[in-house]
Amino acid sequence: MTISMTDYFRSRKSDRKKETRYINVINKDNCTSCNSCATVCPVDCIYEVVSPIPSESYHQIDTSRCIGCQMCYRSPNDSSEFYQLTICPWNAIDMLHNPNMKPDTQSVLQPYYRGSSEDLPWSKLEEYGYQLFLDGEVFLTDDLPDLHRVFAALQEEAWMYSEEDNVRIVSTESEVGEGFVRYSATEEGRDLLDCMYRDWHRIFMD
């Protein structure tokens, strides 16, 4: 089932019980909004960001509700070690080993942080940082304060851009809509994310 972003966040429920082994992320630049992924999603966590120009609409996955079932990426029953029957005809979906399940000893983001905050949620920063790396934006429901604290860390001017300069990865000017907040990466933040996620080992289907 396809649902618009506005309707999705108006009716969304925080119904996932635990972190999942996998999470999927859509690259909006490859997405044509063909609905193939949304049609097979068993938990309806895929919504459409509708543009006035139809060719510029695209889909996104709410990773805080994704159950990692792989259905939007491939058909498990029709795939094997040698062949994958993929669902997305445009290769717009990346499947990740969820960094929140087995966090690395040191996050890929950690060496770039020069702020004073301690005990940052590094695995969540990795999860949403990857979405910012791919798309430059993340839509987040407005009723999960813990996740908004993740973005508060990304909005600190405390991320090493060069030996001399710190930057914000996420702009402090966020778009607030009905039931959601849209966070956007800064230009410097995207450049930095390109460095952070180069050869990131958690992408295992691409």
Q: pLDDT per residue over 105-133, tens digit each?
A: 999 999 999 999 999 999 999 999 999 99
Q: pLDDT per residue over 14-73, tens digit each?
A: 999 999 999 999 999 999 999 999 999 999 999 999 999 988 999 999 999 999 998 998
CA distances 41 to 73, 74, 75, 78, 134, Å, are: 10, 11, 11, 16, 21
> Measured in whole angstroms, how far is the alpha carbon of residue 165 from the centre of its chain?
26
Residue 200 neighbours by CB distance under 10 Å: 14
pTM of full prediction above 0.75: yes
Residue that has been written with the tokens 């996740």 in this structure: 147
